[in-house]
Structure 1
Amino acid sequence: MGCGAHTASSDYGLPCLPSPTREEALVTKNSRRRMMERKIVEMLVAGTGVNQIAEQLHVSKARLRRLRELAKQYRYLDDAGQPGQVPLPSYPEALFPDTVDKRSLQVSEAHQRLASKHAWIRDCLQAGWHFVSVWEELSAQGITGVSRSSFYRYIENHQLTRLGETYRRVVPEIVHKPGEALLLDWGKLRDVVDPVTSKKRTLWFFAGVLGFSRLLVLRLVWRIDTETTLRALESMLRELGGVPARLTMDNPKCVAIEASPYEPILNPAMERFAAHYGVLVEALPPRDPQKKGKIERPVPFIRRLYESHGEAWHGIEESQEFLDRKLVLANQRRHGTTLRRPQQLFAEIEAPALKQLPALAYDIEQYHEGTVRQDGHVRFANKYYSVDEKHIGAEVVVLGGSKLVSIYRGGRLLEVHDRLWDPNRSKSTKPYHLKPWERAMADDSYYRERARKLGPAVEEMVLRIIRKGQGFIDTRVIFGLMSLDKSYKAAEIDTACRQALATDSLSWRWVKGLLDAARGAEAERARAAAVPAPPPAAKPRAAYAHVRSMAVYEEQMQLFKNGSPDDIGGWMH
């Protein structure tokens, strides 16, 4: 639908204007210069300053001063900068004469030699010769020493670059066999105002024509995206009652994720659709509408069919029904090229040549382009699906069906996931996309390896906890058992686990209590061993000569109470 170098009409049915010649470009340039000079002089006559003019018109002050001197010279201004004696001539007359570009008067020696063979060069180009072929044959015509750039300048200056287009624009007819191709194209039908949202929307049509019978079918759509295109294609094939050998269309993103004149990279969704229906998809080169002219011409015809509908809007279904009625009549009229009725030709010859439709309809997939996040997942439909970590930051294509989600990069399949429909799950991660330690923790091998280092009883307890099947609750208990080696020896942990297994107490707190109890009993024994020895027994009084017995003191006290002072005094001495 684009307008390339050799097309005669644009996307909107308007003729493509040829590139301007050198003279035309020069005239346009002179006209722009004259208009700018007039605007500057008018502002100078009105009393506008140079700085203000330079700011408003974005021209240099040097140019303004030069034009001010010219205006004084031609007496549009006086010496004081006020309006002069000569009024400004009316537009489009120039204020100042055009300067002569002396370079245009120069003629090179190569130009003079080529001018002697001008007729031969013109005849070769009219015959369809390539420019380089003509330049290479100059030596055979006795012209040497002409560079390729000089030759190109010569044929451009003499307007010889377009001579061969008349012959090259003749496009040979592309003949299709019955059931060979369905040619497809998109086009804008109209703009409508949504009565609910009061916003303007564009209504598009997706049209297809069979290459042999010229039977025309179309679907009205709101968007030109992958899912809408596939649904419209499937509906068309159901209407035709069969599958052609090839689908020929342009190269938008819904068809080819990378257009190419040689080998495009097809959209994975379109590839899977084609594989399901057993049809070949032909994505045409960029700017090459001649290869599907059988559908290019009906595009304005479809718009003309809709003209009688009027501007009233009653919904896309009503417009589809209106065009369906018009197409029934159009397909029954005699075609201008084949001089046959498309509907009759289709029913008699082309319909039997179509391949049979598959028994099951294609599961239309959703198309999404996204970037792989730093955690190795790509988002699709508010869910996250993993890929290999080497693709982090890459742009990928995600196709989501009702059962599977496929991830592509550059047309190559990276990963396939089961689609997540559980509202309580948001991530689907393949085991081999996990980090090594995460992968080891995904089963009991990681826990068993650590427990085995602490002792057989610890390993047995870990296995029995895992068999309980309580998920992360069990994992937390196992983490607690593994962390005991920070405070206790492996032999102590193994002994405590053996005691816990004997009572079927698969609890971290129970094992921790046993370890604490054992540690406490050991501390008690240590304290008992550290109590000092009792003091030695006292010696009998007889062992000390200077110490009197209590009997002596009792006797003396009795004398003190009953005896004479002399007796007491003698005792005291």
Structure 2
Amino acid sequence: MFEYRQVLVRMRQGDSDRDIARGGLMGRKKLTTVRREALALGWLDPAQPLPDDATIAGVFGRTPHLPHTCVSTVEPFREQVSKWAAAGVQGTTIHAALQRNHGYTGGYDSVKRMLWRLAAERGVPATTILDFEIADAAQVDFGAGPVLTVNGMSLKTWIFVMTLCWSRHQYAEVVLDQTVETWLACHRRAFEWFGGCPNRIIIDNAKCAIIKACRYDPAAQRSYAGLAEGYGFRIDACPPRDPQKKGIVESGVKYIKKSFVPLREFRDQADANRQLREWVMQEAGTRTHGTTQEQPLMRFTIEKPLLMPLPDVPPVLSVWEDVKLHRDGHVVYRYARYSAPYALVGKQLWLKATDTVIQLFHRHELVATHPRQPRGGRHTVRDHQPPEAQAWLEHDPQWCLARAKEIGPSCHGVILALFNDAVLINLRGAQGIVRLHRKVGDQRLEAACARALAFNSPKYSTVKGILDKGLESEALPQPAAANANTYLSGGRFGRDLHSLMIH
């Protein structure tokens, strides 16, 4: 409208279309149209005031509300294309799908123009600038880090970044993973770097921090909630798919990736972190920030005294995980196994892991404590095993021999004979014979073992059969009794025809 008003003013002053076109305001063909309309409306009379912009726009302005004279070839598929575009499908994929599924024969440029029109119809959502009080908040995020080459192997890394929202001073660290342990440890080192803790930490919905992403009712990871309680900060999770809510740290991550990472060489992780700390203090912290127009370190000198003080004793970094007690009586955590009472087999337990200790809870009751094991390790408490397993583990050959010796020499002889077998181990048979004393007593068991030796049958089934039939009280054949010591010494016992016929 400014250009139209300038043209009308010059026409009212008597300038020709040639002179006006020479000034670059408008072409001669368009000036002819403007002069014709202005004369018809009486706008070139110097005695009359110029019309306002709305009136001029009504005559010369564009009319976007008028329908297009050319209908796009994509128009029949507008609704489907709109759904795909809203879902984030790129234009080339939409064009290929139209050709493949709908027989579309138009070009990609038609699809691209349709996407532009749809975007214009949707409009650009308006946002607002978030203001933060001093020492109120910090934002946290991970970004892709440099690839390290260690011993000929390439290691992918990430960069943990925590930025104070008011001063823009930041803590950054190169890490090898995004596990809960790394997440918690980086928070502790960041608070120690700042010398204090902000009131709240703004994060996205990373799995190491949030187990349920929700706009209204997010659920924090139990380990992270424990850390927040220990340091006194509150967790402020961004709504799902809305990273602009933590745009300060997002910009900080991009700044590190573009300014620090390129054109640098790193020997290992420690060297990368050393260079990163120097860069934060010497370059990033001393630059004039584009938003605050002040140096982050200068503003940090004001913010630091207002941060929450750190606790005298740092809270223990502990990771909580929901685990299941398997049939073997063990849970698995970080490829190591830990036992729990056998009565809880099949139930879900809470596992609390620190750097040195593993604790297991059932319904908030502590049921087991173990020293932390390396990958592939196992720690088993014998009392956690079922009674049968405990008996098997505790009643070894030495226990069986010692207990048999207490019962009597014949029982001891039977157990020795079982363990002297060159083919079978016979541990369960020996345990079974020794346990028979609970039912029949030492005297009957000793007599039954003596009879089994007399008949050269030192077996559990023989001793058990003698006791069941009550044969232990019968007299032993003399030759068998006379040669019992010979059997125990390893010789072979033989009986005469008379004893065979009797028994």
Q: What is the alpha-carbon distance in structure 2 between the residues aligned to residue 363 and residue 21 of structure 1?
A: 43
Cα gap change, 1:275/1:413 in structure 2, threshold over 3 Å: closer, same or farther?
Answer: farther
Q: Deviations over 1:4-34 (max 9, x none)?
A: xxxxxxxxxxxxx955999x79992598469
- Between the aligned partners of 1:290 and 1:335, the Cα distance in structure 2 is 19
The answer for the alignment partner of 1:385 in structure 2 is: 339
> How big is each residue's C-alpha offset from its partner over 1:185-234, in whole Å with a ceiling of 9 and x where there is no partner?
11012223x2413x322222111111222112211112111222222221
Amino acid corresponding to residue 134 of structure 2 in structure 1: P
Q: Distance in 2 between matches of 1:324 and 1:491?
A: 77
Distance (Å, rounded) in 2 between the aligned partners of 1:383 and 1:364: 21
1:332 partner SS: coil
Structure 1 residue 419 corresponds to structure 2 residue 371: yes
Given the superposition, is the C-alpha separation of residues 37 and 412 from structure 1 closer, same or farther in structure 2, using an over 3 Å criterion? same
Residue 254 of structure 1 corresponds to which residue in structure 2?
Answer: 208
Counterpart of 1:28 in structure 2: which amino acid?
H
1:275 and 2:238 matched: no
Aligned 1:161-240 pairs, distance under 5 A: 163=121, 165-166=123-124, 169-192=125-148, 194-197=149-152, 199-240=153-194
| Aligned with 1:28 (options 61, 85, 95) | 95
Q: For residue 314 of structure 1, what is the amino acid of its counterpart?
A: R
Letter in 2 for 1:384: Y
Instruction: Summarize deviations over 1:519-541 as a string: whole Å, max 9, x none.
Output: 366999xxxxxxxxxxxxxxxxx
Matched letter for residue 328 of structure 2: D
Supply the distance in 1 between the matched residues of 2:136 and 2:278 (Cα, whole angstroms).
Answer: 26
CA contact (8 A) 1:386 1:430 kept: no
1:236-279 CA-to-partner distances (Å, cap 9, x unmatched) read 11110112222221222221234333333333322232232222
Distance 1:189 1:494, change over 3 A: closer
Contact 1:179–1:244 (CA under 8 A) maintained in structure 2:
yes
Deviation at 1:288, TM superposition (A): 1.6
User: What is the match of residue 484 of structure 2?
Assistant: none
Which residue does the alignment assign to 2:307?
354
Q: Give the secondary structure class of the aligned counterpart of 1:190.
A: coil
Q: Equivalents in 1 of 2:310, 2:203: separation in Å?
A: 21
Question: Per the alignment, do residues 182 and 21 of structure 1 end up closer, same or farther by CA in structure 2, a change over 3 Å counting?
Answer: closer
Residues in 1 aligned to 2:473 and 2:314: alpha-carbon distance in whole angstroms:
72
- Assess if the C-alpha contact under 8 Å between 1:184 and 1:249 holds in 2: yes
> Partner residue of 1:565?
none
Q: Which amino acid aligns with 1:291?
A: K
- One-letter identity of the residue aligned with 1:171: T
> How does the TM-score come out when normalised to structure 1?
0.47
CA contact (8 A) 2:373 2:379 kept: no
| Match 1:285 to one of 239, 243, 246 | 239
Which AA in structure 2 matches 1:342?
P
When residues 20 and 243 of structure 1 are mapped into structure 2, their CA distance, relative to the original with a 3 A threshold, is closer
Deviation at 1:178, TM superposition (A): 2.2
Unaligned 5+ segments in structure 1 are 1-16, 39-90, 93-155, 444-457, 459-475, 497-511, 525-573
Indicate if the aligned counterparts of 2:336 and 2:373 stay in contact, CA closer than 8 A: no
Q: Name 2:487's counterpart in structure 1.
A: none
Report the Cα offset of residue 163 of structure 1. Answer: 4.1
Secondary structure of 2:436 counterpart: helix
Secondary structure at the aligned position of 2:147 is classed as strand
Preserved contact between residue 214 and residue 342 of structure 1 (Cα < 8 Å)? yes
Contact 1:183/1:208 (8 A) holds in 2: yes
Match of 1:325 among 278, 286, 298: 278
2:198 pairs with 1:244: yes
Select 1:401's aligned residue among 347, 354, 357: 354
Confirm or deny: 8 A CA contact 1:255 1:267 kept in the other structure: yes
How far does the alpha carbon of each residue in 1:91-115 deviate from its partner, in whole angstroms, 9 at most, with x for none? 99xxxxxxxxxxxxxxxxxxxxxxx
Determine if the alignment matches structure 1 residue 316 to structure 2 residue 269. yes
Counterpart contact for 1:420–1:428, Cα < 8 Å? no
The equivalent of 1:374 in structure 2 is 327
Q: What's the offset of the Cα at 1:354?
A: 1.4
TM-fit CA distance, 1:375: 2.6
Partner Cα separation in structure 2 for residue 250 and residue 412 of structure 1 = 29
Name the SS for the 2:181 alignment partner: helix
For residues 335-359 of structure 1, what are the alpha-carbon distances to aligned partners after superposition, in whole Å with 9 as ceiling and x for unaligned?
Answer: 22233332222212x2122122122
Q: Does structure 1 retain, via aligned residues, the 8 Å contact 2:341–2:385?
A: no
Whole-Å Cα distance in 2 between the matches of residues 299 and 494 of structure 1? 80
Write the letter of the residue equivalent to 1:177: E
Shift in CA distance, 477/281, structure 1 to aligned 2, threshold 3 Å? farther
Secondary structure of 2:275 counterpart: helix
Cα 1:419–1:352, aligned 2, differ >3 Å: closer, same or farther?
same
The amino acid that maps onto 2:309 is Q
Q: CA contact under 8 A between 1:261 and 1:284: conserved in structure 2?
A: yes
Deviations 1:510-566 (A, max 9, x none): xx9xx9999366999xxxxxxxxxxxxxxxxxxxxxxxxxxxxxxxxxxxxxxxxxx
Structure 1 residues 276 and 416, CA gap change in structure 2 (3 angstroms): farther
Structure 1 CA distance for aligned equivalents of residues 239 and 364 of structure 2: 21
| Alignment partners' CA distance in 1, 2:137 and 2:278 | 24
SS at match of 1:313: coil
Question: Is the Cα–Cα contact under 8 Å of residues 257 and 267 in structure 1 kept in the other structure?
Answer: yes
Q: Give yes or no for contact 1:226–1:367 (8 Å, CA) kept in 2.
A: no
Kept in 1, the 8 Å contact 2:210–2:220? The answer is yes
Alpha carbons 2:342, 2:386 under 8 Å: kept: no
Match of 2:254 in 1: 300
Distance change in 2, residues 1:314/1:485 (3 Å): closer
CA distance in 2, matches of 1:30, 1:490: 86
Contact 2:167 2:300 in 1 (8 A): yes
Q: Which residue of the partner structure matches residue 495 of structure 2?
A: none
Code of the aligned partner of 1:176: F
Percent identity between matched residues is 21
Superposed CA offset, 1:370-415 (max 9, x none)? 6532233202363323267566286x76442245323479x98885
Flag the 1:408–1:522 CA change in 2: closer, same or farther, 3 A: closer
Aligned letter for 2:207? K
Separation in 1 of the partners of 2:115 and 2:170? 47
Q: 1:325 to 1:157 in 2, by over 3 A?
A: closer
SS at match of 1:174: coil
